């Protein structure tokens, strides 16, 4: 139904198909397989009119229609506005704990095109690829449809290093827009998030890969040896700390123990501060550190300062006011990157607040590696 136009050119790296073939053969035999998706807002289904019209659901639905005898589970680990830095820390909780057999990964429009995010992306890939279910992994490259910008020049060499297939919207759908086959506004209202038709085309690219894998299922492939990291690989074992697994010192801040209502009820499990001088202090061992806090569309919101090991000269400002209008942001600020591995003191203090603040400052988590 979706594949009215084949887009083989979207497969920019064939990779090794052994795991995909094994998974699809199991589905053909009627076994249970779980299909997982890890990414940002496009994966979550942003701007599709219904969750069943997003590309991730459509790909899973194609598998169900193709292998009617199989029991196929669906796990959508897409969270809007999140990068592979967060992905490395949350992959287990949001996707891997559901024991997936296939995982589609996309952070191409949320990661910046640089070496830092190449390293965090490798952390995601290594964590997913080595999960004990030995899932097949597919890398997806979404794209800004007005500029063609994405991070695939940094992500895809990582995928190629591990023999992982890559499917690019830049080389397929965006190329067709450039060639005049489509107008961008037919497929996306904001030049990034697909509408229903855009999601169909993205799904079609991935389905085209799966169709080709199935056509070649009888061709034997040997899975390549697991390689040494391509980058410094400091984020493979990234961990997320919230109030359920961490007990910082509190002076004015308070822990938020409310239970999440659903997977998109993000602002739970952290700590809140509202007055100038409120502090929270962590002592944690790491070499890399990022702080995750809420940037709110409700203004004004307090501003905090983060200081590591008493180094006021290199303090980091944490401004809770969000200048965008699409909603509160799970903002993730890198603080340390390959520093000395040791116990670090991390002090966060409210330095600006008013009686008219619409929201407290919300510290959601620390991500350590």
Closest Cα to residue 126, out of 237, 279, 256? 237
pLDDT, position 261 = 86
- Asked if residue 228 belongs to a domain, the reply is no
Same domain, 201 and 326: no
Mark 165-202 as b/e (b = at least 16 C-beta within 10 Å): bbbbbbbbbbbbbeeeebebeebbeeebbbbeebbbbb
Rounded mean pLDDT, 38-43: 98
Same domain, 205 and 86: yes
Same domain, 34 and 176: yes
d(CA 219, CA 179): 35
Contacts of 193 (CB under 8 A, 6+ apart): 41, 42, 46, 47
Same domain, 263 and 356: yes
Same domain, 191 and 253: no
In this predicted structure, the answer to whether residue 4 has a pLDDT above a threshold of 60 is no
- Alpha-carbon distances of 14 from 10, 18, 44, 337, rounded to whole Å: 10, 11, 25, 33
Closest Cα to residue 100, out of 133, 77, 124, 60? 133
Same domain, 75 and 161: yes
Residue 161: CATH number of its domain? 3.40.50.1110
Contacts of 23 (CB under 8 A, 6+ apart): 33, 101, 102, 135, 136
pLDDT, position 178 = 96
User: Which range (6-10, 297-301, 325-329, 362-366) has the least confidence?
Assistant: 6-10
pLDDT, position 181 = 95
- Asked if residue 18 belongs to a domain, the reply is yes
Give the DSSP H or E segment for 24: helix 18-28
The model's pLDDT over 246-275, given as tens digits with 9 standing for 90+, comes to 999 999 999 999 998 887 888 999 999 999
User: Which range (196-205, 207-216, 322-331) has the least confidence?
Assistant: 322-331
- Asked if residue 230 belongs to a domain, the reply is no
Q: Please identify, among 180, 215, 250, the residue that sits at the C-terminal boundary of a domain.
A: 215
Closest Cα to residue 337, out of 351, 316, 318, 319? 316
In this predicted structure, the answer to whether residue 351 has a pLDDT above a threshold of 90 is yes
d(CA 268, CA 261): 9
Query: How many residues are listed for the chain in this entry?
Result: 369
Rounded mean pLDDT, 73-100: 97
In this predicted structure, the answer to whether residue 283 has a pLDDT above a threshold of 80 is yes
The model's pLDDT over 59-71, given as tens digits with 9 standing for 90+, comes to 999 999 999 999 9
Residue 311: CATH number of its domain? 2.60.120.260
d(CA 235, CA 121): 8
Same domain, 55 and 164: yes
Q: What is the pTM of this model?
A: 0.95
Residues of the domain holding 149: 8-215
- Alpha-carbon distances of 154 from 105, 151, 174, 191, rounded to whole Å: 14, 6, 18, 22
Rounded mean pLDDT, 295-303: 96
Same domain, 244 and 136: no
- Please give the tally of structural domains in the chain: 2
Same domain, 184 and 282: no
In this predicted structure, the answer to whether residue 1 has a pLDDT above a threshold of 70 is no
pLDDT, position 301 = 96
Instruction: Indicate the pLDDT class of residue 55, thresholds 50, 70 and 90.
Output: very high
Contacts of 221 (CB under 8 A, 6+ apart): 16, 17, 18, 21
The model's pLDDT over 21-36, given as tens digits with 9 standing for 90+, comes to 999 999 999 999 999 9
d(CA 338, CA 233): 10
């Amino acid at each position: 139904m979706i594949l009215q136009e084949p887009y083989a050119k979207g497969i920019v790296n064939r990779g090794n198909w052994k795991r995909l073939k094994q998974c699809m053969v199991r589905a053909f035999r009627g076994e249970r397989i779980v299909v997982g998706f890890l990414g940002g807002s496009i994966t979550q289904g942003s701007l599709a009119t219904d969750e069943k019209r997003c590309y991730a659901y459509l790909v899973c639905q194609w598998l169900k229609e193709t292998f009617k005898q199989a029991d196929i589970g669906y796990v959508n680990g897409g969270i809007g506005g999140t990068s592979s830095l967060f992905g490395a820390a949350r992959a287990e909780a949001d996707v891997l704990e559901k024991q997936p057999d296939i995982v589609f990964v996309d952070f191409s429009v949320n990661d910046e095109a640089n070496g830092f995010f190449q390293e965090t992306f490798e952390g995601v890939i290594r964590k997913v690829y080595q999960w004990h279910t030995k899932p097949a992994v597919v890398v997806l490259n979404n794209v800004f449809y007005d500029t063609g910008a994405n991070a695939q020049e940094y992500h895809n060499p990582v995928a190629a290093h591990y023999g992982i297939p890559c499917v690019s919207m830049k080389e397929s759908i965006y190329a067709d827009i450039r060639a005049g086959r489509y107008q961008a506004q037919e497929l996306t209202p904001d030049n990034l998030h697909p509408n229903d038709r855009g999601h169909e085309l993205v799904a079609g690219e991935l389905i085209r890969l799966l169709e080709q894998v199935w056509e070649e299922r009888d061709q034997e492939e040997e899975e390549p040896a697991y390689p040494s990291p391509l980058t410094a690989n400091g984020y493979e074992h990234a961990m997320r700390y919230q109030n359920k697994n961490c007990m910082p010192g509190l002076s004015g801040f308070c822990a938020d123990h409310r239970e999440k209502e659903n997977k998109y009820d993000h602002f739970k499990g952290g700590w809140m501060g509202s007055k100038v001088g409120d502090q929270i202090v962590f002592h944690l061992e790491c070499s890399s550190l990022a702080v995750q806090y809420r940037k709110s569309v409700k203004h004004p919101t307090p501003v905090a300062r983060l200081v590591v090991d008493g180094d006021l000269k290199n303090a980091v400002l944490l401004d809770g006011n969000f200048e965008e209008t699409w909603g509160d942001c799970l903002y993730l600020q890198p603080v340390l990157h390959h520093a000395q591995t040791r116990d670090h003191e991390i002090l966060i203090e409210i330095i600006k607040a008013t009686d008219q603040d619409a929201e407290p400052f919300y510290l959601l988590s620390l991500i350590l590696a």
